[in-house]
Amino acid sequence: MSSYVFKLPDLGEGVVEGEIVAWHVQVGDLVHEDQSLVDVMTDKATVTIPSVVSGRVIRMHGDVGEMVVVGADLIRFEVDIQGHEMAATDGLTGEQPIRMLHPAHASSSSDGSPAMAVPQISNVAATVGAMADNPSPPSRPLASPAVRRRAREKGVDLALVAGTGRGSRVTDADIENYLRVGGNAHGRTGRIKRTGTTEIHLAGVRRRIAEKMSISKRHIPHFSYTEQVDITELSELRAFLNEHRTSDEPRLTYLPFVMLSLVKAFVKLPEINSLYDEEREVVTRYEAVHLGIATQTDRGLYVPVVRHVEAMDLREAARELRRVTQATRHNTIRREELTGSTFTITNLGQVGGLAATPIINHPEVGILGIHKATDRPVVRNGQIAIRYVVNLSASFDHRVIDGMVGVSLIQRLKDYLEHPALIFLE
């Protein structure tokens, strides 16, 4: 037997370090060549790094969330230099498996190489590999992050649940059994005081989101504005167009109408379609309209960009919107499609709500939030009528956008959406 130290390889030109976002192995595992070892996020991509040898993991370096420089030790293997297969016995070392607080599973490049030319952002996985049997009870219940999350959602203290998995690991079935017998896995009923806590280390995508939001909120003095919009006529137009669309035409949502309305509004209010460089104190106004579309995925929040909306008609906007959002959710979006927006839309309609104060996507100067459309009683011509209504919530950078300018944008959008024929007039 001999040992082999696997070091963080060169991940691409200019990359000197990376953040560990997930381990795919643990101490004691038998690993074969090309098996996935670890996900590392750099400022350019998240990559899955495969093993270059076959052997048993005897030591691991670095926790999830830690930065590791290129060339630093990652894993020490025990390898059979004579090529004989090693027995899969437990307890080879006295080390405990590394604890993963925010595991993720990332795709590698199409050719399987660790240095990806096209980035693939990590997918959040729901499981962790089984830990080695341990005859002594652990101080912290053994459970995967997915099980811990489910326990928190259901208000279950894992310390009170008898684990039936390998090494007394708590499983989903154990939690369900605990709840089925009245909240106690041993059959006692009644309310149980909960004292447990779970630490979730911010790593990978979640850390990047936290950093981005902190910059936006810390540097930008926001002001927000909410307006109610009657989209009854727009709803009828959308239904008509969908009913008469051809098989090769995309089904329309309300968002493409909003996108084209913004294009028209920016012609009159070009200062909102801008980026602000606070260090140079320069505002750059864009003739092109590149709309960021806030998209929730199981990996976190991303903002893919629909470029040159000013050159699109309604169907083209719908088609490109669908393409970039689906690519984002399916983890096939290209890195360059996640940058370069000049204004952002966030669709809040899935969860409803009357108003919000969306955070601006720095260094943009405005963001539009769209709430859930519902039937509401409104007064029209002195009579109460049921109309289809949606609320718009917008935030603006008050260093660049005066209050009247921000309000004017929303009022123009209101005109276009309440009288949709205006969207298509030159």
Q: Is 186 a catalytic residue?
A: no
Tell me whether residue 397 is one of the annotated catalytic residues. Answer: no
CB 359, CB 367: distance < 8 Å: yes
CA dist., res. 33 & res. 57, Å (int)? 12
Cα(19)–Cα(41) distance, rounded to whole angstroms? 5
Give the residue from 356, 285, 335 showing the smallest Cα distance to 42: 335
Tokens at 417, concatenated: 């959406």
The rounded distance, in Å, linking the Cα atoms of 414 and 93 is 67
For the chain, the C-alpha Rg in angstroms (whole number) is 27
d(CA 71, CA 249): 51
Q: Tell me if residue 319 falls in helix, strand or coil.
A: helix
Burial class (CB in 10 A: 0-12, 13-18, 19+), 219: middle
Catalytic residue among 61, 73, 398, 415: 398
Of 378, 312, 391, which Cα lies nearest the Cα of 347?
391
* Residue listed under structure tokens 């912290």: 140
Catalytic member of 34, 43, 80, 402: 402
Just list the catalytic residues. Answer: 398, 402
